[in-house]
Amino acid sequence: MINLTIDGKIIEVPEGSTVLKAARQAEIHIPTLCDHQELTPYGGCRLCLVEVEGFRTLQPSCTLPVSNGMIVKTGTPKVQEARKFVLSLIFSERNHFCPYCQVSGGDCELQNAGYEQGMDHWPMQPTFQKYELDASHKYFILENNRCILCKRCVRACDELVGNFTLAVEDRGADSLIVADLGVPLGESSCVSCGMCVQVCPTGALIDRQSAYKGRDTQVEHHPTLCVGCSVGCGVDVITRDNHVVRIDSDWADPVSNGVICQVGRFKPLEDGRERILTPLVRKDGSLKAATWDEALKTITKAVEPQVGNDKGIAAVVSTRLPAEALYQFKSLFSDGLRSGMVTTTEDGFPTRGVSALARELKRPFEGKLDDLRASDCVLVVGADLHLKHQVAGFFIKRNRPNGTRLIVIDPQENGLEAFADLVIKPDQTGTTEIINSLIAALDGKDASVELISAAEMLKHAKKPVILAGKNVTAEVEVVRALSALREKLGDSAVQLSIKGKANSFSAAQYGLEQDFAPGGHAVVYAALGDERPSERLLKRLVGKKFLAVQASYASPLTAMADVVLPVTEWVEQPGHFVNTDGRLQEAKKVIHQPDEVRDNIEVLKDLAERLGVKTDCQWQAALTQSNTPVALS
């Protein structure tokens, strides 16, 4: 530990800590701009200058390591003068006229810093040099005229996301934030995660969806769960007057550590689908508005004659729904109505092989996302983490500058290839064979150059992680082969699978994993929630005798339905989700649904009651009725 004195206070901090961190620990306020708690110190803005005894000049506290006996002063006239001078320089450099900026009035860290230093005018007027504005991106605008070159966006893109899209071009006052080698952002390698927008201290990165829709003092923050995929990142849903204004990442979230992707941040706000606001029943060939009672009666009338008939009712449920709803669905259709065709919109495809091996081994065999974050060599098999489950991809990509190696095995095109040290294409041979050959290569047996090279990388890794995607985990053979590979690599090796949607894991544990084949079934019930029906699902449901759809939005599927029940979407319903590494997480109800819209779970309960089916609430216990591939936490 190191002892130092800041403003007369004696403070003990660990070695390697910075003066700024030490001051914060002692609750001594030092103003900052380029500093961000999640990014490495940069020392760019100089607002955090402090006086240190024995130092000739003022020192930036954010990059200055503490040393024993150091005496620091944060409020001397010299320091205060320097702060004002630093701000004067920043204000004079570009266009910092506040009235037209979306962050003015509390949300701008530069403006707040100016107020804090009591700046009632600028000692130096701006130069009025014009900088480029880049409005080519779908979700945000880069307004270089408001940029203070703190490089938070660049650091977020590098350190949190690992996409390395943003950089600084040129020098001094001509410095510009650019994408790739100076291409428009909209045409760059940007993956639209929006982390840069979230960390920007000024109005230089403008979020098209939320700009001018409410300052921080006018909105409410709701920490909840993203249901975009199985990674299960925490998000901060920002609302105003029962409307979602923006979605930010949640820095306190243990799964994502505050990183989210396009699916979590921007997609939910550009839905654009037509909301279904009242129950609909088909009359004389067209869907007409009806009461809930009428709609549910129409369903019970169609369902009742089919009870107990194995081929009577086919039921399909979205894995974007909470575990409570999935369990209720299964209890109603599988246990209560004894239907032989109860499954999910994913057909259990992403989890089947993993579940099968768990039952076979009778114990968990997968590791945690924490392992992925800490891995120094990742083997990705059949998962395009550049396209889907992006945050898991960020965990790998951002570690590459620290030496983490990446090997990709995928018969299909994979966005991770651009980031990989080694890409292996299974070609004619299957994935299982490739994995088996890799195991053989680890044993020193003859193999292709690529496999030998992959074997070397994995062998020398301290924490090798094997991550399998849903393209391969349907087959138990592949999962078994990967498991053998993990065992071959020793105790430090970890195996993971990415599974699929937000609650694919729960659905798998409830046994909802069969292929949806509504062949001769008289009645089909689809609990879609807010999921977009896939082409595959639509094809299988064309021309059904009776189709009931429980959905939030109008779709080709609701258009085919005989009864449509309007239900809540993700931010309107509370419930639990199990993410890809077995973490049981709670999603909150953030906004109220429209009047006639009912909660997914409530609708299923009502239906069960009307059909005389007794269901219970054992959704949590049921998660562990069969062996799980990874220990639940």
Partner 1 sequence: MTKPKIASDWMAGCAGCHMSLLDIDERIVTIAQVADLRSTPITDLKQPDESGVDVGILEGGINNTANEEVAHTMRKRCKLLVALGDCAVFGGVPAMRNFFTIEESLRRAYIETESTDESGQIPNDPELAVPTRVRAVSEVVPVDINVPGCPPDADTIFYVLAELANGRIPELKDDKLSWY
Task: Give the binding site for partner 1 (CB under 8 A).
Answer: 95, 97-101, 104-105, 111, 114-115, 118-122, 125-126, 128, 130
Least distance in angstroms from the C-beta of 110 to partner 1: 11
3-state secondary structure of 96: coil
Least distance in angstroms from the C-beta of 237 to partner 1: 27
User: Given the complex with partner 1, which of 92 and 620 has the nearer CB atom?
Assistant: 92
Strand partners, 65: 18
User: Given the complex with partner 1, which of 100 and 543 has the nearer CB atom?
Assistant: 100
Least distance in angstroms from the C-beta of 126 to partner 1: 8
Least distance in angstroms from the C-beta of 116 to partner 1: 9
Least distance in angstroms from the C-beta of 512 to partner 1: 54
User: Given the complex with partner 1, which of 111 and 555 has the nearer CB atom?
Assistant: 111
Least distance in angstroms from the C-beta of 109 to partner 1: 14
User: Given the complex with partner 1, which of 119 and 611 has the nearer CB atom?
Assistant: 119
Q: Which residue has the tokens 């082409």?
A: 535
Residue 142 token pair: 């880069």
Least distance in angstroms from the C-beta of 140 to partner 1: 22
* Residue from 100, 102, 91 nearest 33 by CA: 91
Q: Rg of the chain's alpha carbons, rounded to an integer?
A: 28
Q: How many residues does the chain have?
A: 633
User: Given the complex with partner 1, which of 65 and 126 has the nearer CB atom?
Assistant: 126
The 3-class secondary structure across 146-198, one letter per residue, is: HCCCCCHHHHHHHHHHCCCCEEEECCHHHCEEEECCCECHHHCCCCCCCHHHH
User: Given the complex with partner 1, which of 69 and 106 has the nearer CB atom?
Assistant: 106
Least distance in angstroms from the C-beta of 118 to partner 1: 5
User: Given the complex with partner 1, which of 84 and 373 has the nearer CB atom?
Assistant: 84
Q: What are the residues whose beta carbons fall under 8 Å from the beta carbon of 622, sequence distance 6 or more?
A: 327, 509, 510
| DSSP for 527-568, written as a single string | EEETPPPPHHHHHHHTT-SEEEEEESB--HHHHH-SEEEEB-
| DSSP for 568-598, written as a single string | --GGG--EEEE-TT--EEEEPP-SPPPTT-B
User: Given the complex with partner 1, which of 42 and 91 has the nearer CB atom?
Assistant: 91
CA dihedral 424→428→431→432, nearest 10 degrees, is: -130
